[in-house]
Amino acid sequence: MRIVVLTGAGISAESGVPTFRDSDGLWEGHRVEDVATPEAFERDPDTVLRFYDARRRAVASALPNPAHLALAELERAIGDDLLVVTQNVDDLHERAGTRRLVHMHGTLAHALCTACDAVSVIVDDLEGRPACPECASRALRPDVVWFGEMPYDLDRIERALVTADVFVSIGTSGNVYPAAGYVAFASALGARTVELNLVPSDAAVPFDEVRAGPASQVVPAWVSELRPDR
């Protein structure tokens, strides 16, 4: 059984990772346009770099919760038949042990050089303008996908969805595309669709099954039922 799991902010919220977008639409007191667009970086790079340095430090103090751990356990059980696609830019899936993972919106742990396009692990805060390990230019930005940019690995995600028997959405709002369209895509190709969320999302296409509750509870319960060795 081939499974594609899509995760969003809801799976990391219980680890203490802020969602950053408040009810008024601001991210840590900033407009999205001021910290999450290429134009913002060109206009005020210091503010943008400071914002993402703070996000990275906040994530570093968080720990994977039972939902992250359950997905890693499922991967150990079924191997290559599972692909986890995350919209999150934290590294909690990796720290839980998941290896077959796509960060479609990039990751806070990496920097992208705007001079040579090299991707490197962030060692020091980017606001201090560290040099690119490849070309030595002091032109690093967070390797995260900003509004107006193309998410990563869309072809790989689509190939996995085409062959998936089950598509599972965990902790996502169902409002951000292209990820929000995956349930319709998977359903049209015959996959069983499951939503595990604190509250049901506003998905345009209804899921075959919806389980409401905290990710740390509903995800381990679902994995326990699915595990072939249980």
User: Which residues are catalytically annotated?
Assistant: 105
Sorted by sequence, the CB contacts under 8 Å of residue 118 that are 6+ apart come out as: 112, 132, 133, 134, 135
Peptide bond into 178 cis (omega under 30): yes
Dig out the tokens for 58 from the structure: 């906040």
Q: Which two tokens stand for residue 72?
A: 């890693």
Reported residue count of the chain is: 230
DSSP letter for each residue of 82-106: EEEEE---SSHHHHHT--SEEETTE
* Separation between Cα atoms, residue 130 and residue 191, nearest integer Å: 46
Pairing relation of β-strands 140-144 and 106-113? Answer: antiparallel
DSSP secondary structure of 111-160: EEETTT--EEE--S-GGG-PPPTTT--S-EEEEEPPTTSPPS-HHHHHHH
